Amino acid sequence: MTMPEDRKTTTISGSEARQGYIVLKTPLRRAIFIAGLAGIVLLAIIMSLA
């Protein structure tokens, strides 16, 4: 399937193409995120020993 010739291409910068935003803005949110990562690692270690 080919693209029609009359279709225009749009060029956008990298910052305009980003679709998300930073959600770890507050210290509490960062702490919860890091604690979750540490919990996953600890769970993996415990499960591998069992």
Q: What does the pLDDT read at residue 8? A: 74
C-alpha dihedral sign at 10, 15, 16, 20? positive
* pLDDT value of position 17: 73
**Cα 22–chain centre separation:** 9
Output the pLDDT for position 4.
Answer: 60
- Give pLDDT, residue 19: 72
Q: What is the pLDDT of residue 49?
A: 92
Please give the pLDDT value at position 16. Answer: 74
Contacts of 23 (CB under 8 A, 6+ apart): 29
Distance CA 12, CA 9 (A): 10
Give the tens place of pLDDT for each residue, 1-50.
565 666 677 787 777 777 777 788 999 999 999 999 999 999 999 999 97
